[in-house]
Amino acid sequence: MSICRRPLSCDYAVPGLALLLSIAGSAAYAAVVLPIEVVGVDGTVASATVDVPEARAGQVRSLWMQIHGLAYPDMVSVQINAGAWLTLNNETAAVAEPGRSYGGIGGGFGTLQLTLPLPPGAVTEGGNNVRFRFNRSDGLASGFRVLAFNFATADGSKVVPAAAFSQDDPNSWLPPHSNAADIAAGRAAWYNAPLVANNRPGAPAIRAHCADCHAQDGRDLKYFNFSNASIGARSQFHGLSSVQGEQIASYIRSLAVPNPGRPWNPPYQPGPGLDAQPVVSWAAGAGLAWALENDEASLPFVFGSGRQKGSQDALRITAETFRPDGNLNPREIPISLQLPDWNHWLPRVHPLDAWGPEFIRSDLGRLYSDSGTGLADAGSVAAGSSEGSLRSRLASPQLAKLIASGDLVALFDRWTKAQRKFLTRYQGKNADDWSPDLTNKVYSTQLWQLTKAWELAQEFQLEGRGQEFYGATGEPRTWFNTVALATAPAEENIPDGPNGMGGSALTNEYFDNAWYEVQILLNGGNHRHNGRQPVDWVYLIDHIRGMYGESQRPEPVRALVAVIKAMQSTDPKTGPDNQLRGWRPDATVDPRIMIHSDWAPIFRTLQPDVRRAITEDMLTAWLEKNLRYRMARYFTPGQTGHTYAPAKEVAEITGGSVWVAAPQFQAAGVSPGTIAELLKWGHDYTNMAASLHY
């Protein structure tokens, strides 16, 4: 059961329209309860009626919508009153930025805002009926949600007042059945009911059960507030009866777990105030309201007050923000990149159905599952085991010791490596060896591990315990692993292009960037960097440039935050003589990123004074950190984690020879004093290297 949305079998009036209001000069209409869920069989329709005052009806030119789950062109059609059905695709509707730059309908974003032009006279005075139709399934989707809609004039002004809409409250939902027998039957079906792949005729049976692709106990559906109807719809999509769907929904409603999320709000989407919420609410994210319209709007949250969306004016840019011993908090910095929603976390196919017995025999399955199959089983989950799987170890009374000793980090690392080892055998050697089916299987296996990592973090309340291992310099909320990073298509060599995610380089790069961004939010190193682990920052940051190459949409602030977190990834107490864990200016992205011609397009949207100040203060912080250590400490023999050569695309923004770019820094407006200090440090460094025959 990979995507859960609300079922409808016929045209219906939006449920819950008990609230009546009187708009001045018009009849009374029920407030439209949002979202409108349109999920079920092909052709399912949902409708809502809104009032348009006489003076405004003739001014209407379009229908503005915010839709969650509009996954492919022509999936959805809209009808106004008795007019023709109008289908939604990238030609008929105008998708708003930034969603349009990331592929629009059929691209990476789970929720889109779009405007549909309407023919003259489509909207009339008084009540207007708007109908939304789910045209057809692609074998994966069950429908969509209309989060908001309104009629708009030529200048984009909304016509229907906000009072005409209300929001559904998940805390008011009741289970379809409240008796213990139905709840128990729902739990049994969740773990054991046989399923089919989809609702198409002749769909094959699958070995996975609901619990195997979701959190094992179903807590994700409760946490992200999937409605009773949506759970029932997805149950039927996978071959269960309507009664079984209601029973499963009743079981989900009975779970004593928090429910701060919504299906359309991307997990861990950053935004101000997120850390002030209980740690259990972190996964719910800051909401789509903090997915900004453009990247430059993030600047005040990095350099300014960080409490409002603002311009680049009056920013407080100082070297303090860039100091490697500091700890910039990316969780509180909103970005314009909408992260994947929960539907995009869930695998499309379970590894057992993708790979068969090979998965059962793999460490990837055994390290997660007590049963040794990678499948959730109600009995084994409850009983635990002594096999040393993550689940059994986390259920141990020795959990605190497991965290403090670092054994938990090591166990997660082993599990992550097991995924890479397992999937290596299936990878194509080059782009032509891949196919959409192979990509789907490989990527779904990555997603399965990510979903199960979330399950373990939530079930065993791990997210607030990072400082038990990482210490005071660690993040107050963190993951103990790099599973999010390992979910990026690039990590398993899934190629850009027609065989990549979404069948395009753009969508493939979106998911690379999205999962790398989630990794920065969940665990950017906690000042415990070790060689290229846990994050290969040079590689990660170059994917931001790769994303720009496909979208042509610069993200200078997101790139800056990644550069700062790279500089801050090592332990402040460990110097350059520790070549694996200490400060190594030659081993990460350096300030030349701000002045190199290859990166100029990324930063071109920054105002000149802002770019100059950022360049100087980044360089200043980098130099001040270098000068804290005697020069000889940079040449202490020992093990190194930097024996690989970076790709040519990033070779000139890493490696530490920043002084060679002094003329470019000078041309960028960096002060003469800072340039002189840079040249002196470079002179001393090269002299020491020469004397030691480096």
Return the pLDDT at 585.
Answer: 87
pLDDT digits (tens, 9 = 90+) for 492-526: 999 999 999 999 999 999 999 999 999 999 999 89
> Which SS3 state, helix, strand or coil, does residue 286 take?
coil
Instruction: Tally Cβ neighbours within 10 Å of residue 646.
Output: 18
Return the pLDDT at 637.
Answer: 74
Return the pLDDT at 383.
Answer: 41
Give backbone dihedrals phi and psi of 586, rounded to 5 degrees, phi first. Answer: -90, 0
Query: 687 vs 655, which has greater pLDDT?
Result: 687
| CB-based contact 347:340 (threshold 8 Å) | no
pLDDT digits (tens, 9 = 90+) for 197-252: 999 999 999 999 999 999 999 999 999 999 999 999 999 999 999 999 999 999 99
In 100-221 the beta strands, taken as DSSP E runs, fall at: 111-117, 126-134, 143-152, 165-167, 195-196, 205-206
Return the pLDDT at 530.
Answer: 78
Return the pLDDT at 22.
Answer: 36
Dist CA 283 CA 263 (whole Å)? 12
Return the pLDDT at 172.
Answer: 96
Mean pLDDT of the chain: 90
Identify the structural domains of the chain with CATH numbers, from first to last: 7-168 (2.60.120), 172-254 (no CATH)
The terminus-to-terminus CA distance of the chain in angstroms comes to: 58
pLDDT digits (tens, 9 = 90+) for 558-611: 999 999 999 999 889 999 988 888 898 888 899 999 999 999 999 999 999 999
Cα 543 to its chain centre, rounded Å, is 15
Confidence of residue 188 (pLDDT cuts 50, 70, 90): very high
Cα 498 to its chain centre, rounded Å, is 22
Q: Is the pLDDT of residue 373 over 80?
A: no
Question: Which tokens in the block code for residue 603?
Answer: 């930063």
Question: Which tokens in the block code for residue 392?
Answer: 């059994």
User: Any idea of the CA torsion for 422, 343, 99, 160, to the nearest 10 degrees?
Assistant: 180
Q: What is the average pLDDT across 116-122? A: 96
132-151 as b/e: b if 16+ CB within 10 A: bbbeebeebbbbbbbbbbbb
Dist CA 265 CA 232 (whole Å)? 21
Amino acid found at 694: Y
Q: Is the pLDDT of residue 6 over 50?
A: no
Return the pLDDT at 380.
Answer: 52
| CB-based contact 581:642 (threshold 8 Å) | no
Q: What is the average pLDDT across 330-334? A: 97
Q: What is the average pLDDT across 333-352? A: 98
The residues facing 132 across adjacent strands are 46, 78
Return the pLDDT at 281.
Answer: 98
| CB-based contact 476:275 (threshold 8 Å) | yes
Q: What is the average pLDDT across 172-188? A: 97
Dist CA 228 CA 232 (whole Å)? 6
Q: How far is CA 675 from CA 35, 509, 660, in A?
A: 56, 37, 11
Return the pLDDT at 532.
Answer: 75
Q: Is the pLDDT of residue 5 over 70?
A: no
Confidence of residue 691 (pLDDT cuts 50, 70, 90): confident
Rg (the chain; Cα; Å): 27
Residue 193 exposure: Cα atoms within 13 Å on the Cβ side: 22
Q: Is the pLDDT of residue 282 over 80?
A: yes
Q: What is the average pLDDT across 163-170? A: 96
pLDDT digits (tens, 9 = 90+) for 61-87: 999 999 999 999 999 999 999 999 999
Return the pLDDT at 580.
Answer: 85
Name the region of 357 (left: φ>0; alpha: ψ -120 to 50; beta: rest).
alpha
Q: Which long-range contacts (CB under 8 A, 24 or more apart) does 306-315 make?
A: 306/272, 306/332, 306/333, 307/272, 309/334, 312/606, 312/607, 312/610, 315/610, 315/613
Return the pLDDT at 689.
Answer: 84
Lowest mean pLDDT among 69-73, 140-144, 381-385: 381-385
Q: What is the average pLDDT across 319-346? A: 97
pLDDT digits (tens, 9 = 90+) for 642-675: 555 666 677 788 888 999 999 999 999 999 999 9
Q: What is the average pLDDT across 462-482? A: 94
Q: Is the pLDDT of residue 384 over 60?
A: no
Q: Is the pLDDT of residue 389 over 80?
A: yes
Lowest mean pLDDT among 15-19, 98-102, 241-245: 15-19
Return the pLDDT at 448.
Answer: 98
How many Å is the maximal CA-CA distance in the chain? 89
Question: Which tokens in the block code for residue 606?
Answer: 């920054």
Question: Which tokens in the block code for residue 518?
Answer: 């989630």
User: Any idea of the CA torsion for 493, 2, 380, 408, to the nearest 10 degrees?
Assistant: 40
Dist CA 452 CA 394 (whole Å)? 13
Return the pLDDT at 119.
Answer: 95
Question: Which tokens in the block code for residue 439?
Answer: 């990509």
Query: 154 vs 588, which has greater pLDDT?
Result: 154
Return the pLDDT at 694.
Answer: 56
Dist CA 437 CA 503 (whole Å)? 11
Q: Is the pLDDT of residue 633 over 50?
A: yes
Instruction: Tally Cβ neighbours within 10 Å of residue 531.
Output: 17
